[in-house]
């Protein structure tokens, strides 16, 4: 316990820097957005808010996160060889998102640019390049290094791209994405702290601790300006940065080929994955493109069933905490990797059953079958 408190004291300043910079940068971003016309204009369809909202919140989050990471490198808390590529990659991902916020670039361009950025960061840091080995080696399957590294690279690329897409999709209500990713990042910090206390990796532990606690500070620093009723939106510049940070952390937890840590990190990140999987399944089932936007996300359906925006966001916070606790539990030393994987799959089975029984997979049919209110 004392070792954990020492870590919290040492790395708490990183969160403090991210929080303070983001808190003060957000009002400035708001004014810049209003003066330059970078606003999110309502359309009463995918954007049902009542008035135009400034759209540069992601830049403020980036500044807070980047300041914390740069400060940790300057004071020698982390090795810049591992952290600098992630910092530059996050800035590039955020820049692509900002370009889409301003000019609405094509999905193909965003996918290609994101894949190039993320792939470069993975190769420079080596993050996730032994994921396949960590899963297959305990089962007695040894692939040639060139094969296992290539497969791991592709898996890692999909994980980080998927994380960016998932956080982008969950950014649909005031305070939802920032609050959920703050909780997720706090879960990652607890997981990283446990590894650090165990002295898992002299090089990797500080990187994981800094990345997770910096995003906690930046997300919480943005939240007061973004909670319902929001005065500013983070846009794709912010949501994709949050997803990139989470995705890279998931890969970094696989550093020592202990797949149980990756399973725990994926469990902590479960809520954005759940919403994305539900959206894609629902669209495929109704014969629409899985990439077509709509207002039937998990959180949208909660609002349609009578919850207020604030109540819905708080429910999602609660679910994120539950997934976070489950993610930490499957990483306990007493939990073998095979059991952790079974628990992970079992949780998803229960979630799928509840989702189906609640009618979340086919909200259109549920609304059509609802009784018409009498006048």
Per-residue pLDDT of 251-281, as tens digits, reads: 999 877 778 899 999 999 999 999 999 988 8
What gap in Å lies between CA 238 and CA 249, rounded to an integer? 17
46 versus 186: which is more confidently predicted? 186
Give the three-state DSSP class for 100: helix
The rounded distance, in Å, linking the Cα atoms of 145 and 227 is 47
Angular region, 229: left φ>0, alpha ψ -120 to 50, beta rest: beta
How far apart CA 279 and CA 275 sit, in angstroms, is 6
Backbone angles phi, psi at 53, to 5 degrees: -120, 135
Q: In the prediction, which pLDDT does 329 show?
A: 92
Closest CA to 330 of 274, 272, 266: 266
Handedness of CA 27, 22, 268, 55 (dihedral sign): positive
Q: What is the pLDDT of residue 74?
A: 93
H-helix segments, 37-106: 57-74, 80-103
Q: What is the pLDDT of residue 375?
A: 33
Residue 40 has φ and ψ, to the nearest 5°, of -90, 110
* pLDDT band, residue 363 (cuts 50/70/90): low
State the average pLDDT for the chain: 88
- CA 283, distance to chain mean position in Å, is 22
Does residue 180 surpass a pLDDT of 90?
yes
What is the domain partition of the chain in residue ranges?
2-267
Give the model confidence (pLDDT) of 38-85 as tens digits: 888 776 666 665 678 898 999 999 999 999 999 999 998 888 888 999
pLDDT tens digits, 104-129: 788 889 999 999 999 999 999 999 89
Q: How far apart are CA 227 and CA 236, in angstroms?
A: 17
To 10 degrees, the CA torsion angle through 100, 105, 111, 114?
-40
Residue 50: predicted pLDDT = 61
């Amino acid at each position: 316990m004392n070792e954990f408190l020492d870590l919290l004291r040492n790395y708490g300043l990183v969160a403090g820097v991210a929080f303070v910079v983001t808190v003060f940068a957000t009002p400035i971003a708001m004014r810049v957005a209003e003066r330059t016309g970078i606003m999110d204009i309502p359309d009463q369809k995918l954007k049902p808010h009542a008035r135009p909202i400034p759209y540069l919140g992601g830049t403020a989050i980036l500044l807070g996160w980047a300041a914390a990471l740069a400060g940790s490198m300057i004071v020698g808390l982390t090795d810049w060889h591992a952290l600098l590529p992630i910092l530059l990659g996050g800035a590039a991902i955020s820049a692509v998102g900002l370009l889409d916020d301003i000019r609405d670039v094509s999905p193909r361009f965003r996918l290609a640019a994101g894949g190039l950025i993320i792939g470069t960061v993975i190769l420079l840091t080596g993050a996730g390049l032994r994921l396949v080995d960590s899963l297959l080696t305990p089962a007695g399957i040894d692939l040639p290094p060139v094969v296992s590294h290539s497969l791991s690279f592709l898996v890692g690329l999909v994980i980080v791209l998927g994380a960016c897409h998932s956080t982008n999709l969950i950014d649909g209500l005031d305070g939802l994405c920032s609050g959920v990713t703050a909780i997720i990042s706090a879960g990652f910090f607890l997981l990283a702290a446990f590894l650090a206390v165990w002295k898992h990796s002299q090089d990797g532990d500080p990187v994981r601790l800094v990345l997770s606690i910096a995003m906690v500070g930046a997300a919480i620093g943005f939240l007061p300006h973004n909670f319902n009723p929001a005065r500013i939106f983070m846009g794709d510049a912010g949501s994709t940065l949050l997803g990139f940070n989470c995705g890279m952390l998931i890969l970094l937890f696989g550093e020592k080929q202990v797949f149980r840590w990756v399973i725990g990190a994926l469990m902590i990140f479960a809520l954005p994955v759940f919403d994305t999987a539900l959206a894609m399944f629902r669209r495929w089932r109704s014969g629409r493109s899985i990439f077509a936007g709509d207002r039937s996300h998990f959180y949208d359906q909660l609002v349609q069933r009578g919850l207020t925006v604030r109540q819905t966001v708080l429910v999602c916070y609660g679910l994120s905490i539950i997934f976070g606790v489950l993610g930490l539990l499957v990483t306990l030393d007493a939990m073998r990797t095979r059991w952790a994987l079974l628990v992970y799959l079992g949780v998803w089975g229960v979630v799928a059953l509840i989702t189906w029984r609640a009618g979340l997979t086919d909200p259109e049919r549920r609304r059509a079958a609802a009784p018409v209110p009498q006048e």
